[in-house]
Structure formats: C-alpha cells, structure tokens
C-alpha cells in the first residue's frame, strides 16, 4: 500500500487550473530588450567622436551659443559626460562625417514604446530586412505614437567643407531607398534626431532597443535593399576606363589620399569646435 505524501496536493485532477502563458508579442523579428550601458558604449565607440552636438529638448535654439565674436556655435557635450545623458536630441551625423544611417519612420503605431506597438506594416518590413540580414542596428520607439527612428551602423563616410563627395552621395541614396521602403518622413532634416544616450525620467522619451553591432558597407547595404524590393534605378555607376595598370594604381592612390584628407578635415573641424569645451556642457 502506498501512503499519501504529506506534501502531495490533494486537489482532484479535474479541478486543477492549467498554467497559462502570455502569447508571444509580434515584434517583427526585433529584439525587445531595452538598450543598456554596454550597448551605448559600443555605439559611442563606433561613432568615433569625443563630442556630440545635443539638445535637452525641442527648443533647438538653446543648443547653440554666441561666442565672443557673436558667431553662432553648436553647444557640444563630451560623450562621457552626465550632461549628454540629459539630452533627448543629438546630431549623430553632419555634412562632413557620418558613421550611421538614420531613418525617421513616420507611420503611427500604438501607445506603449515596445516593438510590438509599431504599425503592423512597419513590423512586416523590419521582418523582411532582418530575414536578409540587413535589419537596423538600433530602433527607438515613441511611447505615445508608435512612430520610430532606426539606425544602421555603416563604414564612416567623409566629405569636404561643401558636404560633397561620392560616399556622401551613396549615403543619400541608401537613406532615400531605405526611407521610402519604411514609409519615412521625407521632411526629416537629418540634423537633430532622438538620442539613444538619453537616460532621464521623461515618460515620453523614446524607448531604445539595440539589435546588433554589425557594421554595413554602404554599397552592399544599398544593393541588398534594392534587390529585396525589386527596385530598378536609372542611376548607373560610371566606371572610368584605364589604359594601363599604372593609371589604375595612381587613381586608387589619389582616391585614398582624398578620403584621408576628408577624414583629417572632419577631425580638425571637431577639434576646433571642441576647444574650451568645459563651457559648453554644463551639468
């Protein structure tokens, strides 16, 4: 005879309540773990900047100051400063340098700030990108409207003081193609965007989710997106014919030197703007 155990349930099987599990939310394949300090540090390292132009709120006029000569200058923040974490807006790119591609998604979703709160059409398109291994690196979601911003880490591109260069043209083409696919805001100026570094307590601030840390080559990213959507373009790549191997080598050297000059110029501009930085990022 088997004696009943004192710790065994005496509830009849017919009256036991089955354990229920919450249904998995449709995120379109997006990771829904909020970004952490390690993710933000990795993004800052990729940006390769010592300072960032930022604004605490939508009053962007306060993101500038007048120097001793009356010149309007951007208010810069050290990337490791507590002051930067209080800014809800930041410029991640400028006309001479970009290490990320930023898309502002204007399609409204639902209240909540979770990937599942994005519009169904946006989640579907993210799923298509993720399936082809070209999903965004970061996604920030408006907790009130369900609109979003997405970032792709890219190999840095440079331009001279006019903002013109072949790589910058490629960035514009990739931004336009991805943006049209994701129903972007065509009027987004690519100046101030929502900051993934904000750590304040504003309940309306974007919720940020780091997806991965892959860095894309712009030409490959653009080609993959165009292939996915069956996009045909009238843009053709003009290849310069070379009459000899020496001519080709010299052309490659010239382009490398041009890229190095653009990079040096961008660093010089940042150093100049960052002079006497202590007065720019008050705590």
Top pLDDT among 254 and 180 is at 180
Out of 89-93, 183-187, 189-193, give the one with best mean pLDDT. Answer: 89-93
- Is the pLDDT at 101 greater than 50, yes or no? yes
For residue 151, what pLDDT is reported? 98
Residue 190: count of CB within 10 angstroms of its CB: 18
Q: What is the mean pLDDT of residues 156-169?
A: 90
Predicted model pTM: 0.76
- Is the pLDDT at 179 greater than 80, yes or no? yes
Residues 6+ apart with CB under 8 A from 238: none
> Of the ranges 121-125, 186-190, 215-219, which one carries the lowest mean pLDDT score?
186-190
Q: What is the mean pLDDT of residues 255-278?
A: 47
> Of the ranges 131-135, 209-213, 242-246, which one carries the lowest mean pLDDT score?
242-246
For residue 5, what pLDDT is reported? 45
Residues 6+ apart with CB under 8 A from 168: 95, 98, 157, 158, 159
Q: What is the mean pLDDT of residues 12-25?
A: 60
**pLDDT level of residue 232 (50, 70, 90 thresholds):** very low
């Amino acid at each position: 005879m088997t004696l009943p155990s004192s710790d065994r349930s005496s509830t009849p099987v017919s009256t036991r309540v089955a354990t229920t599990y919450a249904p998995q939310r449709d995120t379109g394949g997006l990771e829904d773990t909020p970004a952490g300090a390690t993710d933000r540090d990795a993004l800052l390292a990729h940006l390769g900047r010592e300072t960032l132009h930022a604004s605490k709120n939508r009053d962007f006029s306060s993101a500038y100051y007048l120097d001793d000569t009356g010149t309007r200058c951007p208010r810069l923040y050290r990337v490791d400063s507590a002051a930067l974490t209080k800014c809800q807006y930041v410029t991640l790119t400028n006309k001479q340098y970009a290490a990320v591609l930023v898309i502002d998604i204007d399609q409204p979703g639902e209240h909540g700030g979770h990937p599942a709160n994005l519009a169904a059409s946006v989640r579907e398109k993210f799923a298509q990108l993720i399936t082809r291994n070209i999903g965004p690196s970061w996604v920030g979601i408006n907790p009130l409207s369900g609109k979003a911003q997405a970032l792709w880490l890219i190999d840095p591109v440079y331009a001279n003081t006019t903002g013109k260069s072949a790589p910058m043209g490629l960035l514009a083409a990739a931004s336009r193609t991805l943006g049209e696919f994701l129903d972007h805001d065509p009027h987004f100026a690519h100046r101030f965007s929502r900051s993934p570094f904000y750590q304040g307590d504003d309940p309306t601030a974007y919720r940020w989710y780091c997806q991965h840390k892959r860095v894309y080559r712009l030409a490959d990213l653009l080609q993959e997106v165009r292939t996915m959507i069956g996009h045909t373009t009238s843009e053709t790549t003009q290849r310069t014919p070379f009459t000899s191997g020496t001519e080709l080598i010299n052309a490659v050297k010239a382009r490398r030197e041009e890229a190095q000059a653009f990079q040096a110029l961008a660093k010089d501009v940042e150093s100049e703007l960052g002079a006497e930085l202590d007065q720019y990022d008050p705590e």
